[in-house]
Structure 1
Amino acid sequence: MKRVVLGVLALSVSSALMAATPKFDGARISADVKELASDAYEGRSPATAGEEKTIAYLSKQFADAGLQPGGDLKDGKRLWTQAVPLRKGDIVGAPQLALHQGGKTVALEQGKQIAVRAAMNGASNVDISKAPLVFLGYGVKAPERNWDDFKGVDLKGKIAVVLINDPDFETGQGDFDGKGMTYYGRWTYKYEEGARQGALGVLIVHETAPASYGWATVAGSNTNTMFDVVRDNPADSHPLLEGWIQRDLAVELFRSAGQDFEALKKKAQQRDFTPVPLTGASLDAKYAVKTEVITSHNVAARLEGSSHPDETIIYSAHWDHIGVGEPDARGDRIFNGALDNASGTASLIELARGFAKQKRPQRSVVFLAVTAEEKGLLGSEYYATHPLYPLEKTVAVINMDGMAPFGPSRDFGIYGAARFELLDQLKDVAKGWDIRYTPDPKPEAGLFFRSDHFPFAKRGVPALSWSAGQDWVDGGVAAGKKASEDYTAKRYHQQGDEWQPDWVFAGAARDLEVLYTLGNQLANSRSWPNWSRDESFRAVRDASADQRK
């Protein structure tokens, strides 16, 4: 596609395409985060009063900035929102859970040794008695890699016990992507494949390093309200029982079955691994599930292009968080989600303010705040399957999930290690601020599959999620890494993710200048950036090339 290559070259060298970059206000970002992450919003869970307050706040901020509604059409006019139907599930009361092992029955406490999710396969009750347990390695069936952890096992009436991440994680070498997580390593895939293979349930063994977060994050994320897209046959994608167990429980479970956990893990890293029944071990699980189909909402604001309004650049961030759950040690039940992702949502608002003050771009710019990211990227998945503006003419998606609350850094990154022209352009733009690109320092965390750019990427749209760097101007890599590790351990998907009075958001304000410039260049060009030829998303994008001129 010669015209794309020429367009990218022109984009990177022509300063005439760049409008004056507006200055963004860190104090204003902080004020928006403080509001959205306040207890009044109850953790911004979908289909709650917190959602209603969030939608009202975002719509007002976008309107005050001078943007137009960009959501669903009603009576010939656009709304601020896009309706997103979701299946909602809640466990009623405390689940009764027990493990039978070595002739003993051990009661399990929800959120402590085990974290089970509300059934999303359509069942109103989970009533499992002494279901046998089978160890299935990493729970991967990948024909293109000649890999099958199931190898003909009959899982009817049985619970699959699987490891998190990929078989390559421990060694960094093998048939997957070394230390880089593939989609086969994601917990969502483990449940989906378990359902496809006929398992009654799937339990994932939690270990902090391969999961990239601690048990507190698992418990906080999985013992609250669950959501899913509305499916014709939900049991095709969800087994009856979905959950996680602590590593220590798994070690004892394997030992009582005459197996060694570490030894079996090593075997699971080989192609010739075969399923291992955990002899004498079984699980009881009994609880009611309340399910209903509800309507949540994406929020969309639009700046219509002056000469190519049918071509769109999307900036996105997810507005939702976990909501209200069990109290922590302080008695706090609200998961405020200040960094995750009130910071990205506030930055989206601030970016919209900046665009609205400048000369109207040639292409349209959409500011999309999506719902239910915390439940599996559901809002962005819904948009990608029901786009308000055609994906074939969506130039790029630039997503923000966790923006820098302190000072600026000398580097930046993106989630994952995809290769595409949009990243090359971003690198060129960042040089104007003397910011260098640093590859994802934790490819094993699978962040590429965990943020809202992914549903767009897998449908061919060039899409990335911005990641603030860790080489801080004030304090260097040591300070940046310390802050990141502290957040992951103490606040990520926990009640402690609250607004802090020392958050100046100077880093986010500077980063928005970079992201504005990238999007503004795209919005005032004829460029159509594409994926590298060795990326699987390239073929999907190329299939619609005749719709882009």
Structure 2
Amino acid sequence: MDRLFLGLLAWSVSVAVQAAQPAADAVALKQHVRVLASDAYEGRAPASEGERKTVDYLARQFAEAGLQPGGDHGGWTQAVTLVRTQVRGTPSATLTAGGATRALVNGQDVTLQSLAPVAKVELKNAPLVFVGYGVHAPERGWDDYKGVDLRGKIAVVLINDPDFETPQPGKFDGKAMTYYGRWTYKYEELARQGAAGVLIVHETAPAAYGWATVQSSGTSPLFDIPRADAARYHTLLRGWMQGALAQDIFKSAGLDLAAEKRKAQTPQFRPLTLGDARLSVVFKVKRDEVVSHNVVAKLPGSEAPQESVIYSAHWDAYGTGKPDARGDAIRHGAVDNATGVAAVLELARMAKAAGPARRTQLFIALTAEEKGLLGASYYAAHPLMPLETTAAVINVEMFSPDGPTRDIASWGRGRVSLEGDLAQAAKAQGKAYTPDPNLEAGFFYRADHFAFAQKGVPALTAGAGLDMVEGGVARGKQLRETYFANCYHQPCDAFAETWDTRGQAQDVDILYALGRGIAEGRQWPHWEQDSEFRAAREASAQRRR
């Protein structure tokens, strides 16, 4: 009888806890996006008036929810010093190939940028060298460089991994993009290889976005963290070129781009000088240091306040740019990522309503994600609570405005126990968990959780599922593809009163249950045996009980 009583008591407590979980408010989620994506916030660019309004709004919302400031010196923010680089005027670019000379239009044929510590970029008749996918990965038996001397030369490099278009998976996980496929890696590696410049060949499928996205981001100010070795870390010139332009350059050298790409998909590939192709580029650069901000709120733990769980989302978007066909120049960033910030605000309200958990809960709105995960990288390098005792990072990106789904997803193949935990949390609330359906886009390396993962902290980014309650997977895929083709980083990523945020509320409920379970528990989420981040976490094992 006693055992039966205790079992019934345990069941009753479990039901009571579930019943007591605060519910996410779909109306509040909608209102947060309505404000943050409004014209008044000017696209929420770092170090702008839009940032000031954004930071003020977030701090006010956290305060009204009853949380404590978690930033520097007892305030709501963590200062993030950034180097801002802007092209001054219109770049001049002239291509000579096959005996003919043509002017290239910045933003149309190419996008030209620089993060090098210079006031002027000038390259005259720099040879173009094709370096395939630009990968140097000894652990995979791969080297696209083979000792080539790239000094004074501009490397032409393909986006994504060598496996992306091959019929069978090879050394790069098939269609699932690795970090070697990311444009950030291409720039970093070619700086290590000594190239004067880098031009990435744009193709929509392997890039996972169209030229309009490259154009909007490529003609915006660049940001970086201050670096004593910036001249070594960055090539003098960086940018993208249209796929059609690349085809013309290869053709002028008597080459076929498609055939050379196939060669680049093998480890035998060797760098190739593109005939007599030469590029001359001149533009001025304005560099200055600015201070942006992460916004941090805290709910201290009741028993283990030195241990923490982080909920995060990036608040920044792309500010203003070239007007679209309707004359709208503001890139509002409604889906990407006002929806994520709204979720973190709502998670904070729910956590406060439920009262303190055993572990401290941090709610962080991160800056400069669109500029290379810089706010997250800064926090990871200057944590406000020790990373060794940060149990998990639950990052939120791009929730759907189109109504409820039958599932919730995470980004990339993380090989982390949190993916199983998310699946259980979803199942408990009647939904399924769907692993990333678009691994070839490399989203695992494109969200703020990656900066924490590199430091060993178990982390994932959660996003909307595709199985729509109304329309199923087919409708979900169609909506997703339309968004990325037309509105990603564009002015039309805007709020509309027709948004249906019921699905967002359901997803926030799942993330609340996931985070609360970790915050109340004594277990430590972990990387799986084959994860590249496991060793970094194990190095600090003695700090965790």
**Using the alignment, how far apart are the partners of 1:349 and 1:437 within structure 2?**
23
Deviations 1:164-210 (A, max 9, x none): 00000001511111111110000000000110000000000000110
**Using the alignment, how far apart are the partners of 1:324 and 1:94 within structure 2?**
17
Range with greater deviation from structure 2 (178-187 or 326-335): 326-335
**Using the alignment, how far apart are the partners of 1:426 and 1:438 within structure 2?**
10
Deviations 1:381-428 (A, max 9, x none): 000111011000001000001112121111121100122221111111
Q: Secondary structure at the match of 2:43?
A: helix
Could you list the runs of 4 or more consecutive aligned residues of structure 1 that deviate by over 4 angstroms after TM superposition? 13-19
Letter in 1 for 2:238: E
**Using the alignment, how far apart are the partners of 1:130 and 1:17 within structure 2?**
70
**Using the alignment, how far apart are the partners of 1:522 and 1:15 within structure 2?**
18
Deviations 1:46-81 (A, max 9, x none): 0011110000000000000000100012xxxx1100
**Using the alignment, how far apart are the partners of 1:15 and 1:393 within structure 2?**
30
Q: How does 1:17-416 map to 2 (within 5 A)?
A: 20-73=20-73, 78-117=74-113, 119-171=114-166, 172-416=168-412
Q: Secondary structure at the match of 1:408?
A: coil
Gapped runs of 5+ residues in structure 2? Answer: 1-9
**Using the alignment, how far apart are the partners of 2:144 and 2:325 within structure 1?**
40
Letter in 2 for 1:165: N
2:496 alignment counterpart:
500
**Using the alignment, how far apart are the partners of 2:270 and 2:15 within structure 1?**
59
* C-alpha deviation, 1:16, in angstroms: 8.1
From 525, 528, 542, give the equivalent of 1:546. 542
**Using the alignment, how far apart are the partners of 2:178 and 2:27 within structure 1?**
38
Deviations 1:148-177 (A, max 9, x none): 111111101000000000000001511111
Letter in 1 for 2:177: M
Maintained 8 Å contact 2:87/2:284: yes
**Using the alignment, how far apart are the partners of 2:191 and 2:538 within structure 1?**
32
**Using the alignment, how far apart are the partners of 1:346 and 1:225 within structure 2?**
26
Maintained 8 Å contact 1:168/1:269: yes
Identity %: 55
Deviations 1:2-30 (A, max 9, x none): xxxxxxxx9xx977876722111112111
**Using the alignment, how far apart are the partners of 1:526 and 1:511 within structure 2?**
24
Q: Secondary structure at the match of 2:524?
A: coil
Maintained 8 Å contact 2:122/2:281: yes
Aligned residues: 533
Deviations 1:450-506 (A, max 9, x none): 000001111111100002110011111111111101100110011111111111211
Gapped runs of 5+ residues in structure 1? Answer: 1-9
Maintained 8 Å contact 2:416/2:459: no
Letter in 2 for 1:348: V
**Using the alignment, how far apart are the partners of 1:532 and 1:18 within structure 2?**
29
Maintained 8 Å contact 2:133/2:160: yes
**Using the alignment, how far apart are the partners of 2:57 and 2:210 within structure 1?**
33
Maintained 8 Å contact 1:94/1:110: yes
**Using the alignment, how far apart are the partners of 1:421 and 1:143 within structure 2?**
28
**Using the alignment, how far apart are the partners of 1:327 and 1:97 within structure 2?**
24
**1:470 correspondence with 2:462:** no
Maintained 8 Å contact 1:17/1:521: no
From 451, 457, 464, give the equivalent of 2:453. 457
Q: Secondary structure at the match of 2:191?
A: helix
Q: Secondary structure at the match of 1:53?
A: helix
**Using the alignment, how far apart are the partners of 1:140 and 1:51 within structure 2?**
37
Letter in 2 for 1:366: L
Aligned CA RMSD, in angstroms, stands at: 1.4
Maintained 8 Å contact 2:427/2:433: no
**Using the alignment, how far apart are the partners of 1:247 and 1:410 within structure 2?**
38
Q: Secondary structure at the match of 1:374?
A: coil
From 417, 432, 438, give the equivalent of 2:434. 438
**Using the alignment, how far apart are the partners of 1:227 and 1:346 within structure 2?**
25
Q: Secondary structure at the match of 1:44?
A: coil
**Using the alignment, how far apart are the partners of 2:218 and 2:370 within structure 1?**
10
Letter in 2 for 1:52: R
Maintained 8 Å contact 1:18/1:520: no
**Using the alignment, how far apart are the partners of 1:486 and 1:500 within structure 2?**
16
Maintained 8 Å contact 1:165/1:210: yes
Deviations 1:19-48 (A, max 9, x none): 722111112111110111111111111001
Instruction: State the TM-score, normalizing by the size of structure 2.
Output: 0.96
**Using the alignment, how far apart are the partners of 1:508 and 1:543 within structure 2?**
37
Deviations 1:208-259 (A, max 9, x none): 1100111101111111110011111112221011100010000001000111
**Using the alignment, how far apart are the partners of 1:136 and 1:19 within structure 2?**
58
Instruction: State the TM-score, normalizing by the size of structure 1.
Output: 0.95
**Using the alignment, how far apart are the partners of 1:282 and 1:34 within structure 2?**
49
